[in-house]
């Protein structure tokens, strides 16, 4: 992964958080990743993988199958601890966010970041994660932000 150049974006607080996430993230669990190549989650996952990040698909409908040559897990609890997930990227409706955040905090010991894709936010869940020391990015596309700041 080439992290040698991060753009100076004027240093907004969110941009500073995203830049830090880009530098420190290695393994991303993508909740709601679809095997359908026309879905945004697939395009984001493909981009992140092409940039050197390990992706772990999470989708109970397709558990045990593969997306982008990676095994799909039914939920975050099913991911082996040694996978070292440090970011959870959420492609689910906002009302599902609290359960995902609670599950992530309970079972992913190296978790650093909760990322909610465009159109997804949940203030209470975000505040709960921040209170536990996690970085939370809401209503932003990882592909757009990573490519903009990388």
Tens digit of each residue's pLDDT (9 = 90 or more) over 60-117: 999 999 999 999 999 999 999 999 999 999 999 999 999 999 999 999 999 999 999 9
Is 69 part of any domain? Answer: yes
State the pTM of this model: 0.91
- Six-digit token string for 15: 């941009």
Is 82 part of any domain? Answer: yes
Is 2 part of any domain? Answer: no
- Quick one: which of 92, 66, 64, 68 has its CA closest to 78? 64
Tens digit of each residue's pLDDT (9 = 90 or more) over 20-60: 999 999 999 999 999 999 999 999 999 999 999 999 999 99
What CATH number is given to the structural domain containing 99? 3.40.50.720
Is 91 part of any domain? Answer: yes
Number of domains in the chain: 1
Is 8 part of any domain? Answer: no
- Six-digit token string for 70: 């990676």
């Amino acid at each position: 992964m080439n992290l040698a150049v991060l753009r100076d974006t004027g240093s907004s607080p969110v941009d500073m958080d995203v830049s830090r996430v880009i530098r420190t993230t290695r393994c991303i669990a993508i909740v709601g990743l679809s095997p359908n190549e026309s879905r945004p989650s697939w395009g984001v996952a493909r981009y992140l993988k092409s940039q050197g990040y390990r992706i772990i698909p999470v989708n109970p409908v397709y558990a045990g199958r593969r997306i982008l040559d990676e095994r799909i897990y039914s939920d975050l609890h099913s991911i082996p601890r040694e996978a070292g997930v440090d970011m959870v990227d959420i492609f689910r409706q906002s009302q599902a966010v609290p359960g995902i955040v609670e599950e992530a905090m309970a079972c992913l010991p190296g978790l650093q970041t909760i990322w909610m894709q465009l159109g997804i936010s949940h203030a209470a869940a975000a505040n709960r994660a921040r209170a536990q020391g996690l970085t939370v990015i809401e209503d932003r596309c990882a592909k757009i932000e990573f490519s903009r700041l990388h």
